């Protein structure tokens, strides 16, 4: 069974779509936990109407919101999603299938993007596929594993072994930096989420990549750039 954890801040329309899609795939025992930063657009009401649990937390960064949700989860597998994603039709089934192997303790999927521009969508997807396959190759060679924080499933014991996500930009890289190498991780390119391109529209594609690059370098140097007030999702 899965505990699906989604951080939100004024996500009414996106959350309505996502929860409707997830409910079609959920089984008895699965749960959805929304960690909401006191939205003003009715996000919490949408979540409650769809049967999700809502935890309120003053915005302190996406990483800490996800960790707060995990603290309230009842299941042994945490699945982290963003509110603006569209999961593939067999998404939850594929996650569960991986964890039927008791040795597996983390699973990462592939993020793709929707965009009004065919050209930009192509660029976003080429970038995202490159990151995914590079991470899978790094894992195969070294055992270290980067899993996209908005398309990640972790066993509870592993997640809390490092106290969960921290409030830094690129909390997924920070998690990789703190977790020890392991071969018990699965990368599934068919575990697809379609994300909106708002991440890139807000600051521009190349500027956003530069911010992520600087944050990644800072993390690898043992620091990290605070994620408070940064909207990666």
* pLDDT at residue 228, rounded to an integer: 59
Instruction: Tell me the C-alpha distance between 149 and 172, whole Å.
Output: 5
Question: Tens of pLDDT along 25-46?
Answer: 999 999 999 999 999 999 999 9
pLDDT-based confidence at residue 223 (cuts at 50, 70, 90): confident
Given a contact cutoff of 8 angstroms between Cβ atoms, the answer to whether 226 and 147 are in contact is no
* pLDDT at residue 233, rounded to an integer: 47
Residue 125 has pLDDT above 60, yes or no: yes
Closest Cα to residue 38, out of 18, 19, 65?
Answer: 65
Question: Tens of pLDDT along 197-222?
Answer: 998 998 899 999 999 999 989 998 88
Q: What is the pTM (predicted TM-score) of this model?
A: 0.93
Given a contact cutoff of 8 angstroms between Cβ atoms, the answer to whether 36 and 54 are in contact is yes
């Amino acid at each position: 069974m899965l505990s699906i954890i989604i951080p939100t801040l004024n996500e009414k329309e996106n959350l309505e779509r996502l929860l409707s899609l997830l409910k079609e795939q959920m089984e008895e025992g699965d749960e959805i936990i929304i960690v909401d930063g006191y939205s003003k657009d009715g996000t919490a009401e949408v979540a409650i109407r769809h049967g999700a649990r809502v935890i309120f937390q003053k915005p302190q960064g996406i990483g800490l919101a996800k960790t707060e949700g995990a603290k309230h989860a009842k299941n042994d597998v945490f699945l982290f999603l963003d509110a603006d994603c569209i999961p593939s039709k067999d998404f939850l089934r594929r996650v569960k299938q991986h964890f039927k192997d008791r040795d597996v303790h983390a699973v990462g999927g592939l993020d793709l993007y929707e965009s009004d521009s065919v050209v930009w969508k192509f660029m976003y997807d080429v970038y995202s596929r490159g990151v995914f396959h590079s991470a899978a190759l790094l894992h195969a060679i070294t055992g270290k594993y980067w899993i996209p924080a908005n398309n990640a499933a972790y066993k509870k014991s592993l997640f809390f072994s490092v106290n969960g996500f921290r409030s830094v930009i690129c909390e997924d890289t920070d998690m990789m930096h703190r977790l020890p190498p392991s071969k018990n991780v699965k990368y599934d390119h068919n575990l697809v989420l379609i994300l909106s391109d708002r991440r890139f529209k807000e600051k521009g594609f190349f500027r956003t990549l530069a911010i992520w690059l600087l944050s990644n370098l800072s993390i690898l140097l043992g620091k990290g750039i605070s994620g408070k007030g940064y909207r990666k999702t």
